[in-house]
Amino acid sequence: MQAGGDRFESDIFHQTCGCGASGNTYPCQGQVASSILATRSTKENIMVMRKRTVVEVNKAQCALCYDVIESTHRHEFVSCKCGEIFVDGGKSYLRRGAKNFLNFIDLSESHEEEYESQF
């Protein structure tokens, strides 16, 4: 592509950045690196508000055997005596299950919290 006269667009680009390159070569490495750094520093300064669920207690009671079960550690799978219900996840996440959820009494406590995160 000709920008004007006998000069290529890449010649004009290199004269603008001052690297002294000539001919129809790709943009100089210095110009490319500085534009990447500018993009990174711009993205690092962007903060976004997000929400997460904070688990205080991961607990349930079985309506058949009246067993109260609690998961206190991540990946700690706990089921009641009769095997009707289970809880899992500790304070990291809430995972529960039952053969029949009518027999599952939820005693867990959790709340949502906002926090700032980099984009």
What DSSP assignment string belongs to the chain?
-EEETTEEHHHHHHHHHT----SSPPPPHHHHHHHHHHHHHHHHT-EEEEEEEEEEE-EEEETTT--EEE--STT--EE-TTSSEEEE-TTT--EEEESSGGGEEE--EEEEEEEEEE-
Please check the confidence at residue 39 and state whether its pLDDT lies above 60.
no
pTM of this structure: 0.57
* CA 26 from centroid of its chain's CA atoms: 36
Task: Report the DSSP beta bridge partners of residue 110.
Answer: 55
Report for 9-18, 35-44, 83-92: range of highest mean pLDDT: 83-92
Q: How confident is the model at residue 19 (pLDDT cuts 50, 70, 90)?
A: low
Residue 72 has pLDDT above 90, yes or no: yes
Task: Identify the residue with better confidence: 117 or 100.
Answer: 100
Which residue type, as a one-letter code, is found at position 110?
Answer: S
pLDDT above 80 for 36: no
Confidence of residue 47 (pLDDT cuts 50, 70, 90): confident
Range 42-60 average pLDDT:
85
Predicted confidence (pLDDT) at residue 3 exceeds the cutoff of 50: no
Tell me, what DSSP letter sits at residue 66? -
Selected residue with higher pLDDT from 11 and 54: 54
Return the pLDDT at 102.
Answer: 97
